[in-house]
Amino acid sequence: MTAPAHTLRVVFALSALACSVILVLFVRGRAEWTTVFWLQLAASSLVVASVICWLVFRQGRLRLIGVSLAHLARVFLPQLLYMYIASAFAITAIALAVIYGVTRSGANSLALAVLAGLWLSLWLAPSIASVTSWLKLRSANKNDA
């Protein structure tokens, strides 16, 4: 059974939308949570995610052609795990540097940085894994031809 052609695109788009919501919430700061705020958040997040998806999906990128579901799972799931671990370490390191620079408290900074790294990686890793999986699947198809 072949995988739907837009599987990786859907995963990427949902991950990009989640990350754009987090980004807009971070940028907006401590705004009052009114109906207007939520509408602006939704609109801004959709615009950011749409632009990112448009840039990534150009020229047929992240489109699967003739890839079985089993092969996609064998490639995507390890990539998802690797990207989660790598992004968790990277985000934790960046967050630790920033938070420690502000608070000058080691234990509190480390705890908050680890929490930020583990949580933000949940939303970021699927999009990165989609791209790396597509690159692996594409190079495997070129080698088979």
Write out pLDDT tens, residues 76-122.
999 999 999 999 999 999 999 998 998 888 888 888 899 999 999 99
Which whole-number Å values give the CA distances from 29 to 4, 26, 41, 42, 106, in the listed order?
39, 5, 12, 15, 24
CA 121 to chain centre: 7
Name the pLDDT band for 144 (thresholds 50, 70, 90): low
Name the pLDDT band for 14 (thresholds 50, 70, 90): very high
Kindly report the average pLDDT of the chain as a whole number: 92
Six token digits for residue 134: 């597509």
Measured CA to CA, the distance from residue 45 to residue 70 in angstroms comes to 33
Residue that the structure tokens 């609109």 belong to:
43
What's the whole-model pTM score? 0.88
Name the pLDDT band for 42 (thresholds 50, 70, 90): very high
Residues 58/50, Cβ–Cβ less than 8 Å: no
Name the pLDDT band for 46 (thresholds 50, 70, 90): very high
Measured CA to CA, the distance from residue 130 to residue 62 in angstroms comes to 7
